[in-house]
Chains A and B, each alone.
Chain A
Amino acid sequence: DTAVSQTPKYLVTQMGNDKSIKCEQNLGHDTMYWYKQDSKKFLKIMFSYNNKELIINETVPNRFSPKSPDKAHLNLHINSLELGDSAVYFCASSVTNGRVTQYFGPGTRLTVL
């Protein structure tokens, strides 16, 4: 009965590798997000998709590419991983009509060695 799920929970990889994180929500929401939380717990939005359309794209390196096959899924692919990419990545979802709350997944802790 998990509302927003992410896989994997932990990801340890070498610099230069390419990796993907998957997110799925079963809440019937039409907007999904990716956030990055660094070691100081600063949480910043990276991307937002509404009905498979990109609507928020913050200043994120183009090594990061979100993909939304349908409105229940938003995956994050990262090319040529760098040490600075180490962080916890959270997926979230919401409806799209303002003043709404966002529902967060459990996070994926990415460690780049």
Chain B
Amino acid sequence: SQQGEEDPQALSIQEGENATMNCSYKTSINNLQWYRQNSGRGLVHLILIRSNEREKHSGRLRVTLDTSKKSSSLLITASRAADTASYFCATEGYGGATNKLIFGTGTLLAVQP
């Protein structure tokens, strides 16, 4: 299967703590994206990191990318109860159909108030 793997599958933390989620993928990529899905809702784009970038920040989000290990991590600092959601990484590969995203298996994050 082309699907990426994420770990942990589920993560429970206290408000104010940091949350780290990891994503591994299988093929060469053009970019990697992270999405959030609140329960019963559609996915919302969080951040995109290009294959030639190693780290990117957006507010309380920090994403790293290691193309040699085919892995990425998403760090959410100072978590809030509103961060409770599922988080998915998605990769866009080279060649083939443009804009085709392969999604990871997701991490369910629960932030306890």
* Known contacts A42-B105, A43-B103; is-contact A4 B97 (Cβ 8 Å): no
Asked if A107 CB lies within 8 Å of chain B CBs, one says yes
CA distance A98 to B98 in the complex (A): 6
Q: How many residues of A contact B (CB 8 A)?
A: 27
Asked if A45 CB lies within 8 Å of chain B CBs, one says yes
Q: Which residues of B contact A31 (CB under 8 A)?
A: 99
B100 touches A101 (CB 8 A): no
Asked if A100 CB lies within 8 Å of chain B CBs, one says yes
- Nearest opposing residue in chain B for A105, CB measure: B42
Q: How far is the CB of A57 from chain B (nearest CB, A)?
A: 9
- Nearest opposing residue in chain A for B100, CB measure: A56
Q: Which residues of B contact A43 (CB under 8 A)?
A: 43, 88, 103, 106
Interface residues of A in 86-103 (CB under 8 A from B): 90, 92, 94, 96-103
Q: How far is the CB of A37 from chain B (nearest CB, A)?
A: 9
Q: How far is the CB of B8 from chain A (nearest CB, A)?
A: 14
Q: Which residues of A contact B92 (CB under 8 A)?
A: 98-99
Q: Which residues of B contact A107 (CB under 8 A)?
A: 40-42
CA distance A92 to B103 in the complex (A): 14
A41 touches B33 (CB 8 A): no
User: Which A residues have a C-beta under 8 Å from some C-beta of B?
Assistant: 4, 31, 33, 40-45, 48, 55-56, 90, 92, 94, 96-107
Which 5 residue pairs of A and B lie closest in terms of their CB atoms, listed nearest first?
Answer: A104-B42, A101-B45, A43-B103, A104-B43, A56-B97
User: Which B residues have a C-beta under 8 Å from some C-beta of A?
Assistant: 3, 30-31, 33, 35, 37, 40-45, 48, 50, 86, 88, 92, 97-103, 105-106
